[in-house]
Structure 1
Amino acid sequence: MKNNIYSTFDFSKSLSHFQEKVTKLLELTNISEFDGRVLKLREDKIRESALILAGECIALLLHNLSKSQDFLEKSMQHTQGWWHKTTQKHGYKKRQILTVGNVEVTLKLPYVVERIYQPNQDKKSLREGFCPFLKYLGMAEGLTPLVLSTVAQYGAIAGSFEAARRTLIDWRINISLKRIERLTYYFGQIGIDLRNNKLNDLKSGNLSNLNNLQDQRVVIAVDGGRTCIRIPKKGKRRVKTNRRGFTGEWIEPKLLTIYVVNEQGKKNKTSDIPITNDGTYEGYQGFLEILEMYLFRLGISQAKQVLLIADGAEWIWKHIPPVLKKLECPHETYHLLAFYHTAEHLQTFADAAFNTDNERQSWFKKARSLLRKGHALDLMRNMGEFILSASGERCKILGRERNYILKAYRRRLLKYNKVAYKKLPLGSGAVESLIRQAVNLRMKGNSKFWLKTNAEIMLHLRCQWIAGRWDNFCNSVFNSFIKPISA
């Protein structure tokens, strides 16, 4: 690991050093030996020098802010919501902050502590305090906001914390593996806390309605994944390790994606109506609360059209439609069983009904066409004819698959012709893609056992990144540190 660079707060010297180093790198010496490898090496050195210069600039900016009495007073006022009744000023403390380019700056800052009276002692004890300057700017962890959010970003989106560390080192953010892990969970937990605050606001009737979905065509897609969660064993701790051990239990995280489509049925990815992704390991009840919160906040009642699309999971069709009704979704609201999930059951029926591949594929194509054109009753009558002529295990399979279609029909989940006419999606590819990216590529795998709390944080972080909302998410995290006394 490379050593930190300690800022001198001398901009002219930093700029001169940068210019001197880069000027040499721009020289075309030994032109006959110049190739892609040489160019890459110079690119890397130029980037490294630029990052160091950027870090020196940020260090100087922080130094100047720390010398501004007006800013120190502002940071004191805007963090008093974190103070307790017995919190008092307690002089100054030196704090080190890491900026980009691995440049470290030392600042002398005002410090506050909470004084606690101990009945058995004559004097009051001091609890660990904080620097309002660092709290206000989101730097209590000793990193600038950009460095902290970048650490959390790569900690969440990389395939592992080790992979995140290698990427961060490439960008001259050199911190330990354990610190990357801790900061990722720290940053993500703040996001979970903010989500919980919105859930509490919804329950108390204080959640604001943004009306982002007014007059929009909205798709709500829902599905579940799989993650192995660590379950601590009961009983005595082991003598050698002082641990009880754990077992792995597969738990289904439930995920949602809410997005808008245009009149041609294409997904709208503009920043004014962002995609909303999220999920939870707290079972269907916790999931329903999160779904309701997002739909209310986005203003689902003001939408032009709404489509709920999912697979055939019982909990979805039993519990989500009442939530939509409670939120007063528009009259033009459709519930749809994802077409490709239904087609899978038709394929299973065909495999059991016919002996040759040609017969299977011929019937399957006709059955899928009937379903898509809205002729579900004709399809089920045809399936019934095969069931009457079958017996044994084959009859059970045919009956099971026909009953799946029948159940969906009774729930009015097979209106493919009507939904297609409205140019709304027939498949749940959006949420299936989300599950693959958010869960399968990081959360699911051999020998991966997650603490439930950490899994919840990681899922939430990855959902924000995949939705393209990382910057907005980071802004909300840093805004949460601002807490005036009136808050």
Structure 2
Amino acid sequence: MNIPATLDLNQAIETFKQTIAPLLAVGEISSWDGVALKAREEAIRAAALVLAGQVIALLLHELSEHPDSQREANQRTRSSRGFMARSQGKRRVKVLTVGNVVVEFKVGYILNGVSQQKRKGKRKAGQRGPSQGQGFYPLLRWLGLEEQVSPLVWSVVAAAGMLSRSFAQATEQLQQWGIELSEKRVVRLTYGFGQIGLALTDQWLAQLQQGQLPTGQTFEGQRVGLSVDGGRTRLRYNKRGRRRATKRRGDRGHWREPKLFTLYAIDEQGQRINTVKLPVINDGTFTGIEGFMSLLEMYLVKLGVVHAQQVLLLADGAPWIWHRIPALLERLGLPKDRLIELIDFYHASQHLKDFAEAAFSKAQVARKWFEAARSSLKRGKLAQLLTQMQQILAQKHTRQQRKAMTTPFNYFNDQPQRFAYGQVQAMNLPIGSGAIESLIRQVVNLRLKGNGKFWLPEHAEILLQGRCYWAAGRWDTFCAEILTAKLDAKRLEIVEPNASDLAVA
């Protein structure tokens, strides 16, 4: 249940005192136990959150009433003004803060007109005459309040929606912290938050395509690790043809592989660095190899990877990775001698195990050979290992055995330059792709992949990006980018909120 804002600090504190006083009473000492204490803690927390909401509501009211606020809001949202923008006076809006406190105030509304060229033929359902365009509230846009919730509430709701196992679970968790919203509203706020994040990425991709994205300096002089891998998620697509009696066409599900990467600096001890100046960058996409390569290129340019001291490309044996990414780095200007291509040691070990199991009928003999071979591979003795594998292949085996042995042998023989584990370890660089494997699990497997889960492509893309930022420890950076994104609306195409969703009669 929503709590109206009092807009009086003394009254809010007095109400808090009256609420909290009985909660501090000890009473009969024998009645206490862990359950009783937990219940009392929850009640105290709820009261404190209501007080925090009242204070935030008072702050929002003061901001809206400040004589310079409207001027500053108009200045900061100047790029949002479109064709024949005109003021429509002030309208009342409500904003939800923490503790479920709702504050109401009046703010100016700007209506953007539609040019004659765009006006022709555009008409909303039930509307007479041409479309009148879209409007916005400058103060709400400036302060990140356009969704009728405070920025803190919006970011907390989006985090819960993206990071919980389900939207139902997110809704329940939010209620425990004084944010009582319907599951439908949680879904809408989460996807609305993520849509802006995707729009920002599209903006950077457009700058890259137009040659306007500047090369950064973040990774200048650093040893940089780049790992790539994919997961599995089931997406749903609307069926073609006539609609059913339910007015829906139905949908079909297909498994798609989201491709992800992690990009990070490596210290002298071989550990990942994750600081404000040298952040870990995670991202991915469902848009296929071409979309993934464009996304990766954008980040490589934005972070200035071409200025790195060394780049370690660590991945599995997927051919597209080795055909495309080294060529991309070379095209961007990274000298060949600064790039190290390395296949993940644990993927390589699995191929050795496959060879051993095909070559030896006895499990104990196969295991003994595999352990010795893996040790040789890790120490950088690939040439001796290949010779040994050739000798085993030359022995008498069945046709089926030879076929099963030939595939892992060719895996090593065709790309020997990507198994220099001894050399790479001597440089204190990682040889395993644990970072990307962990990312796939956190981002894809724990939320997007699962029995009975079908995602619309656009929704899966939103959750993928948000969870990538979270897994990199960059959620606050993600929020800051989104909450200020619309202040540069000329370069950022985002669906505008409907004025009727905000205005109160």
For 1:326 and 1:384, how far apart are their aligned partners in 2? Answer: 37
2 CA distance for matches of 1:91 and 1:485?
23
Letter in 1 for 2:310: Q
Q: 2:262 aligns with which of 244, 249, 257?
A: 257
Whichever residue aligns with residue 330 of structure 2, its letter is: K
Shift in Å, 1:119: 8.5
Greater mean alpha carbon deviation, residues 442-451 or residues 265-274: 265-274
CA shift, 1:233, in A, is: 2.2
Structure 2 counterpart SS, 1:404? helix
Counterpart among 242, 245, 253 of residue 248 in structure 1: 253
Deviation at 1:115, TM superposition (A): 4.2
CA contact (8 A) 2:98 2:153 kept: yes
Cα deviation 1:314-354 (Å, max 9, x = unaligned): 11011000111122225332000000000001111111111
TM-score by length of 2: 0.92
Deviations 1:352-373 (A, max 9, x none): 1112222111100111112112
Q: 1:173 corresponds to which residue? A: 179
Match 2:418 to one of 413, 417, 441: 413
Specify the code of the residue in structure 2 equivalent to 1:237.
Answer: R
Return closer, same or farther for 1:122/1:97 CA change in 2, 3 Å cut-off. closer
Q: Which one-letter code corresponds to 1:366 in the other structure?
A: A
Amino acid at match of 2:475: W
2:25 counterpart of 1:27: yes
Q: 1:327 to 1:160 in 2, by over 3 A?
A: same
Of 6, 9, 25, which aligns to 1:8?
6
Per the TM alignment, residue 433 of structure 1 is displaced from its structure 2 partner at its CA by 0.5
Read off the aligned partner of 1:37 and give its amino acid letter. V
The Cα of 1:461 is off from its aligned counterpart by: 0.6
Give the corresponding residue for 1:41: 39
Question: Using the alignment, how far apart are the partners of 1:485 and 1:461 within structure 2?
Answer: 24
Hey, what does 1:98 align to over in structure 2? 96
Are the counterparts in 2 of residues 11 and 60 from structure 1 also a CA contact under 8 Å? yes
- 1:168-211: CA deviation from partner (whole Å, max 9, x where unpaired): 11111111111111111111111111111111112222223331
| Contact preservation (8 Å) 2:82, 2:113 | no
Q: Which amino acid aligns with 1:204?
A: Q
* Paired position in structure 2 for 1:213: 219
Please tell me whether the aligned partners of residues 434 and 463 of structure 1 are also in contact (alpha carbons under 8 angstroms).
Answer: yes
Q: What's the CA shift for 1:128? A: 4.5
Tell me, yes or no, if the aligned pair for 1:77 and 1:485 is still in contact at 8 Å: no
1:433 corresponds to which residue? 438
When residues 125 and 191 of structure 1 are mapped into structure 2, their CA distance, relative to the original with a 3 A threshold, is: closer
The equivalent of 2:111 in structure 1 is 113
User: Among residues 357, 362, 373, which one is paired with 1:351 in the alignment?
Assistant: 357
Identical-residue share of aligned pairs (%): 43
Give the C-alpha shift of residue 483 in structure 1.
3.4
- Contact 1:226/1:250, CA 8 A, preserved across alignment: yes
* 1:266 is the counterpart of 2:304: no
Residue 362 of structure 2 corresponds to residue 332 of structure 1? no
- Note the C-alpha offset of 1:84: 1.4
Structure 2 vs 1, CA of residues 196 and 31 (structure 1 numbering), >3 Å: closer, same or farther? same
Aligned-partner Cα distance in 2 for 1:483–1:467: 26
Residue type at the aligned position of 1:292: E
3-state SS in 2 of match to 1:244: coil
The worse-fitting range, judged by mean Cα deviation, of 435-444 and 262-271 is 262-271
**Is the 8 Å Cα contact of residues 83 and 113 (structure 2) preserved in structure 1?**
no
Superposed CA RMSD: 2.0
Question: Larger deviation: 112-121 or 366-375?
Answer: 112-121
Q: What amino acid maps onto 1:244 in structure 2?
A: R
- Partner in structure 2 of residue 397 of structure 1: 404
Q: 1:67 to 1:486 in 2, by over 3 A?
A: farther
Decide whether aligned partners of structure 1 residues 458 and 123 sit closer, same or farther in structure 2, where only a CA change above 3 A counts: closer
CA drift at 1:299? 1.3
Aligned residue for 2:89, secondary structure, equals strand
Asked if 1 retains the 8 angstrom alpha-carbon contact of 2:203 and 2:491, the reply is no
Change (3 A) 1:425 1:203: same
- Counterpart Cα distance in 2 of 1:129 and 1:253: 36
Relative distance call for 1:437 and 1:84 in structure 2 (3 A) is same
What are the Cα deviations for residues 241-300 of structure 1, in whole angstroms up to 9, with x where unaligned?
222222211111000001122111112122221110000011111111111111111111
Matched, 1:129 2:135: yes
Matched with 2:296 is 291
SS where residue 264 of structure 1 aligns?
A: coil
> For each residue in 1:135-190, what CA deviation from the matched residue of structure 2 results, as whole angstroms up to 9, or x when unmatched?
11111110110111111111000001111101111111111111111111111111
* Shift in Å, 1:125: 6.5
Q: By how many angstroms is 1:124 displaced?
A: 7.9
Is the 2:113–2:134 Cα contact (8 Å) retained in structure 1?
no
CA contact (8 A) 1:115 1:124 kept: no
Unpaired runs of at least 5, structure 2: 122-126, 493-505
Q: 1:233 aligns with which of 234, 239, 244?
A: 239
CA distance in 2, matches of 1:334, 1:375: 18
The structural deviation recorded for 1:122 is 11
Deviation at 1:33, TM superposition (A): 1.6
Distance change in 2, residues 1:119/1:248 (3 Å):
closer
Native 8 Å contact 2:80 2:487 kept in 1: no
In the aligned structure 2, how far is the partner of 1:476 from the partner of 1:253?
A: 24
- Normalised TM-score (structure 1): 0.95
1:465 aligns with 2:470: yes
Task: Give the alignment partner of residue 52 of structure 1, picking from 50, 53, 60.
Answer: 50
Question: Aligned partners of 1:103 and 1:122: how far apart in 2?
Answer: 39
> Which of 357, 374, 377 matches 1:371?
377
Partner SS, residue 482 of structure 1: helix
Classify the secondary structure of the residue corresponding to 1:291: helix
CA distance in 2, matches of 1:50, 1:221: 45
Q: What secondary structure is seen at the aligned counterpart in 2 of 1:69?
A: coil
1:141 partner amino acid = E
Q: 1:152 aligns with which of 158, 161, 164?
A: 158
Compared with structure 1, are the counterparts of its residues 122 and 402 closer, same or farther at alpha carbon in structure 2 (3 Å cutoff)? closer
Aligned to 1:342: 348
Deviation at 1:103, TM superposition (A): 0.2
Provide the residue aligned with 2:197 in structure 1: 191
